Every structure is written in C-alpha cells, then in structure tokens.
A and B are shown apart, each in its own frame.
Chain A
C-alpha cells in the first residue's frame, strides 16, 4: 500500500473511534475532548485530500474556538460534576442512526463502488482566495451579514439587564 493510503486508514480509524467515544461517553468533559480529537482527525483527513486551507481553518475555528466555547458552556453551567446526559430513547436513537447509515451507505456503494481517488491535486490558498472574492463574493458578503445577526442575537440573549 502507498503511504497516503496507510495514513488514510490510520486517520480514519482514529476519527471513527473518537467520534463514537464522543456520542457514547457519559462524562460531559470527556465527550468534549472526544469531539476535539474527532475534529482534529477530520482536519488531518482534509489536508490529506489536498484541502490544506480548509484543514487549518477547521483546526483554528472548530477545535480552537467552538470546542473551547463548549468547554465554557460546560464549566459555566457546572454540569461537569452533576451530569444529566442521556434520555431514555437510546435504543430507538440507535435504530434510527443505523437506518440512516444503511441508506447512506447503500447510496454511496451503488454510486462509487469501484471508483478510485488519487491524492494528487492540492488546492492552493491563493486559488481559493481568488475564487472567494470573484465568483463567490455574494455568499461571502451574505456570511458577513449572518455573522452580524449572530453577534447581535447572542448579545441580546446572553446579556444581563
């Protein structure tokens, strides 16, 4: 096996295990750490598939900001020591998740069963930046308005009068 393929399987196993840990563990802090590991594994996979910039953005924003936000949420609500974790629908939830997986897997296998992908193209940041500010400039501006709405909204909800 080629080196990138070996790297893929190692990263895939790491990501899958930490994802499973995230949704199964009964400790809130462990779950957040599992999420961080899972997101880092995904970021490494992004880089392996030639998306260096997206991989780094994923680490910066998801691991660096979002997971920290979750940690704040856990610490501020003090539930790290007094856990309320799962509801009593776990078997039903597992069945639904299994059904979703089977539907998606069937679609994927029937469409891509024998197709192969090579790790050859990298998408340079310069190219992405150029596209973002030409063809994709309107979505870019729309996201900036969305961030404004989120900023105002979060302050409205969280401030103390």
Chain B
C-alpha cells in the first residue's frame, strides 16, 4: 500500500484541526480541535515507525499522549475559571485588552 495514503489522512486531520481552532469560539470545542491536531501528529509517527521499522515513533507517541492529556486538564481548568467569572465559554468575548 502507498505510504502516502495514511500520511494524507493525517494531513487532512491536521487541516481540520487548524480550521477548528480558527473557526470555533466555544472554549471546549477549541480544545477538541487541538486534540485533532495532536492525534494527526501521532498518526504520522506510527506510520513512519512502520515504514522505517523503528520503534522510536511509538515511544514518541506515548510521550505525546501523556503530555497532551495534562495540557487538556489545564485547558479545561482555565475554561471553567472563565465560565465561573463571567458565565460564558465564548473565547472571542474576551476583549478587555485591545492592540
């Protein structure tokens, strides 16, 4: 099978994630888009691991899963903090500071 096929799938996931980060204004949905970006990078690593017969890609993917889980935990904490203060999760309503 052509190795380009899974890599293009990963590029598609990455682009969807970029679209999500730019187009969403709901804090939790933004985090979901970030999660898509991370998973697409993991897919690349796993495919390269198989292509190069090198387990390094698997190891890196494991680290990434652990680290981004922690990152999402902080992200949810920040969204909840914002929600408690101003009862909204809309990120672009943050405009106290301009330019």
- Indicate yes or no for A touching B, C-beta below 8 A: yes
Q: List chain A positions with a Cβ less than 8 A from chain B.
A: 4-5, 8, 12, 15-16, 19-20, 22-23, 28, 31-32, 35, 38-39, 42, 45-46, 49-51, 53-54, 57-58, 61-62, 65-66, 69-70, 72-74, 76-77, 79, 83-87, 89-90, 92-94, 96-98, 100-101, 104-105, 108-109, 112-119, 121, 123, 127-128, 131-132, 136, 139-140, 143, 146-147, 149-150, 153-154, 157-158
Chain B interface helix/strand/loop/mixed: helix
Are the CB atoms of B7 and A108 closer together than 8 Å? yes
Q: How far is the CA of A35 from the CA of B27 in the complex (A)?
A: 15
| B contact residues, range | 35 or more
Q: List chain B positions with a Cβ less than 8 A from chain A.
A: 1-9, 11-20, 22-29, 31-33, 35-36, 39, 42-43, 46-47, 49-51, 53, 55, 57-59, 61-63, 65-74, 76-81, 83, 88-90, 92
Are the CB atoms of B55 and A100 closer together than 8 Å? no
With A38-B36, A77-B83, A98-B15 in contact, is A70–B76 under 8 Å at CB?
yes
Q: How far is the CA of A157 from the CA of B77 in the complex (A)?
A: 6
Are the CB atoms of B39 and A128 closer together than 8 Å? no
- Given contacts A19-B12, A53-B58, A96-B18, 13 further A-B pairs with CB under 8 A are A35-B32, A45-B43, A73-B80, A77-B79, A83-B26, A89-B22, A93-B18, A97-B15, A108-B4, A112-B4, A150-B74, A154-B73, A158-B77
